[in-house]
Copies of this chain bind each other. A is one copy, B any other.
């Protein structure tokens, strides 16, 4: 993943995420992506509370998931999340890997746009606060 900045988080697959095929139900991967996204945004100092304080919410407008291999009970995996676009919208790429074999399980992305919390208006350009938060990782 060619990301401006990335972060990863390990996780275990819980029983309640499994379906009758004994694999994680495909809809549950959005939770693992979010786990990685939270770690990533916390790393750049722009977690949920900081977002609210900045006056912007960042709803998801697009999500893609590509499933290569299933996840099974108690499998030890990690999610890697990285920012790959930020100028007009925020794009985060995700990889889920098996922690023991290193094999790729899932790949995906989410795209977010800034919405002014007060006016509820969508921002067509990324607000300066995100550039600021990203500045340590942007090549000058």
A contacts, CB < 8 Å to B: 14-16, 18-23, 25-28, 30-31, 34-35, 38, 47-49, 57, 59-68, 70, 73-74, 110
Q: How many copies does the complex hold?
A: 4
Nearest B residue to A113 by beta-carbon distance? B67
Q: Is the CB of A62 within 8 A of B73?
A: no
Contacts of A22 in B (CB 8 A): 20
Q: How far is the CB of A67 from chain B (nearest CB, A)?
A: 5
- A34: contacting residue among B15, B64, B70, CB under 8 A: B15
Contacts of A63 in B (CB 8 A): 26, 63-65, 67
- A16: contacting residue among B15, B27, B67, B70, CB under 8 A: B27
Q: Is the CB of A26 within 8 A of B60?
A: yes
